Amino acid sequence: MSEEQPRSVEVHIPSELGYEKIAMEAAAAAAKRMGFSPDRIADLKTAVAEACINSIEHGNKLDATTKVVVVLTVEPARLQVNVADEGLEPFPSEPVEPGHPPDNRGWGMFLIRQLMDEVEFSTESERGNQVRMVIYLDKQ
């Protein structure tokens, strides 16, 4: 199968803690197929899990009737992961640094920023919270 055209995989998980592990394993499978190193796959798994946990806990307020949607877009040189929830509460704007303990959400956002090559957090009135994360094959 040619990898020239982007391929997308969409995973829907209920807003219940623990289901983030399904999203992280799906992301890991895509990254492994693309040839990412085990270290980068471990980074990706943590980032995807943290984005999903933020969506489950803070976006969707642990309401199991709501969904978190994870879209993996496989491109020749990079993997993009979008995590979206139904919440409208904006992301905290203050960056977190070691030595200044944040709440769990803060640690999650901190880790995502540290581990991924590109990260964007956004909140839109009709689309809820979105996290866009990218890792590149040439930044192993």
Partner 1 sequence: MPEELKASVRRRSNLAVIQFSGDVTTFAEDVARDAYREATRDGGRNLALDFSLCEYINSAGIAVIIGLVTEARRQDRRVLAFGLSSHYQKIFRMVGLADYVEMCASEEEALAHINPEA
* Contacting residues toward partner 1, per CB under 8 A: 16-21, 39, 42-43, 46, 49-50, 53, 98-99, 101, 103-105, 107-108, 110-111, 114
Q: Distance between CA atoms of 135 and 50, rounded to whole angstroms?
A: 15
Nearer to partner 1, 4 or 39 (CB): 39
Query: Min. distance of Cβ 125 from partner 1 in angstroms?
Result: 27
Nearer to partner 1, 10 or 103 (CB): 103
Query: Min. distance of Cβ 45 from partner 1 in angstroms?
Result: 8
Helices (H), 69-139: 104-115
Q: In what order do the strands lie in the sheet with 67-74?
A: 7-14, 67-74, 78-84, 128-136, 118-124
Q: Distance between CA atoms of 73 and 4, rounded to whole angstroms?
A: 12
The dihedral sign for the CA sequence 22, 30, 43, 111: negative
Nearer to partner 1, 42 or 73 (CB): 42
Query: Min. distance of Cβ 108 from partner 1 in angstroms?
Result: 4
Query: Min. distance of Cβ 27 from partner 1 in angstroms?
Result: 14
